[in-house]
Chain A
């Protein structure tokens, strides 16, 4: 049973346009959500996070939106750049402290120049 789902395995966007990556979750106990960027054969790099008490968090070109009622979050990247091309993982955790992250399967973003 996959608790964190990224239903789009890949996404292609033109440089300068907006990239929207989606993530759904099933566990209502999740209260903190994170987005990671990952290149092949490297560890994930933290991008942005959001607590369940918020519905939006913005950091530069990256904005994460959380819709708790729909158990849905999305990562917006604008404007998209070729260097953004990577696999993006959505992750969630149920508690503060030592709870491990639960990851989605990832979405491969390709930004075309």
Chain B
């Protein structure tokens, strides 16, 4: 089946530094990647949608200059949290879609802690 590899699974960084999270589709081409964020006891909230080779579309309230998304190839999308602050501490999850409809495959998530 379709697999999405997400790295790192957890990261602790100092306030003010940047962190890059990678999502790779291992056995299919991901035409679209969705990035979600989940705070404790909350739902998975969509941050942005990216299509390969084009700029990401951000949801309202998500700062595009802070959360940089790159989807340069059909198998790799990255989310960079720039100048991270403690309030950015959260669980970030990517979801990839391939050619088939309703084919959402999730990564394993990244727990980001900013200290």
- A interface list, Cβ under 8 A from B: 4, 9, 32, 34, 36, 41-46, 49, 89, 93, 96-98, 100-106
Main secondary structure of the interface of A (DSSP, over half): loop
Subset of 26 A-B contacts with CB under 8 Å: A9-B41, A36-B106, A41-B10, A41-B91, A41-B109, A41-B111, A42-B109, A43-B4, A43-B6, A43-B93, A43-B107, A43-B108, A45-B106, A46-B104, A49-B102, A96-B101, A96-B102, A97-B101, A98-B31, A98-B49, A100-B49, A100-B95, A101-B95, A101-B104, A103-B45, A105-B41
Main secondary structure of the interface of B (DSSP, over half): strand
Chain A: which residue is nearest B48 at the CB level? A100
CB atoms of B46 and A100 under 8 A apart: yes
- B interface list, Cβ under 8 A from A: 4, 6, 9-10, 31-32, 34, 36, 41-46, 49, 51, 91, 93, 95, 97, 101-102, 104, 106-109, 111
Chain A residue contacts of B31, Cβ below 8 A: 98
Going nearest first, the 9 A-B pairs with the smallest beta carbon separation are A43-B106, A96-B101, A98-B32, A105-B43, A103-B44, A43-B108, A103-B43, A43-B109, A100-B34
Chain A residue contacts of B102, Cβ below 8 A: 32, 34, 49, 93, 96
Give A98 to B103 CA distance when docked, in angstroms: 9
